[in-house]
Amino acid sequence: MTGVDDVVDETEDRPVLVGVIALVGVSLIVGLIVGVVALGGARVFGLNGGGGGGGGGAAVEPTLSLPPVTETPTSSGPLITLTPGDEGEGGEESAPTEPTEPTTTTTEAAEGEITLQVSMTTAGPMERIDVSGIYTGGDGAILTIQRFTDGSWNDIAANAAVSGELFSTYIALGRPGENRIRAIDPSADVTSNEVSVTIG
């Protein structure tokens, strides 16, 4: 009985190969069963595509029919529609009324005014401080940011372009203590409000 023992030993040495062969065999059997059931179902429901199949019904051809082309009649009258109330009583036109102007009052900001604000009023040395604001009527202007030192206003190396009357830039201050800053439009000699930032 050495022959049987050799076959058993070979299958024990190759369990992965035996598993793959079994998996392929089962897959083939399941595939054949599913295919036969699908073909049988197609014949029962008449989906086999042939005209003389087991469904017994005649094949229906898809059709598309277009109506005949005819010329559209042209109209000789005006091509507008009047809304009710456009005519006076008895079919006569009513007298035109004077349009009334709306009565709205608006308050506008003063032309040429710069309003300045900062993102923080207390910061560390050389910390980024965002500066922004509104320059009414100053669209397209280039503003200079200034700091008050030693009794006069001195330019900081920061400019801001005004777009849509809004501007924004940033500064970094190193001098400890209170720093007063403002924005100025040198071309129009218009200055903003002063803002105080404490560096410490």
Give the domain ranges of the chain. Answer: 2-45, 114-199
Dist. CA 19–CA 92, nearest whole Å = 98
Residue predicted with more confidence, 85 or 43: 43
Dist. CA 52–CA 57, nearest whole Å = 8
What is the average per-residue pLDDT within 115-142? 94
Instruction: Say what angle helices 15-45 and 2-13 make with each other, to 10 degrees.
Output: 80
Dist. CA 91–CA 88, nearest whole Å = 6
Q: How confident is the model at residue 24 (pLDDT cuts 50, 70, 90)?
A: very high
H/E element, 182: strand 177-185
What is the average per-residue pLDDT within 146-174? 93
What is the distance of C-alpha 167 from the center of its chain? Answer: 25
| Cα dist from 116 to 127, 130, 142, 146, 155, whole Å | 19, 11, 14, 12, 16
Residue predicted with more confidence, 153 or 48: 153
| Mean residue pLDDT across the chain | 80
Q: What 3-state DSSP class applies to 21?
A: helix
Dist. CA 184–CA 197, nearest whole Å = 17
pLDDT, tens digit, 9 for 90 and up, residues 27-70: 999 999 999 999 888 888 877 655 544 445 556 677 777 788 88
Q: How far is the first Cα of the chain from the last one, in angstroms, to the nearest whole number? A: 99
What is the share, in percent, of the chain residues with pLDDT greater than 70? 70
Fold adopted by 114-199 = Immunoglobulin-like (2.60.40)
Dist. CA 33–CA 28, nearest whole Å = 9
Q: At residue 148, what are phi and psi to the nearest 5 degrees? A: -85, 110
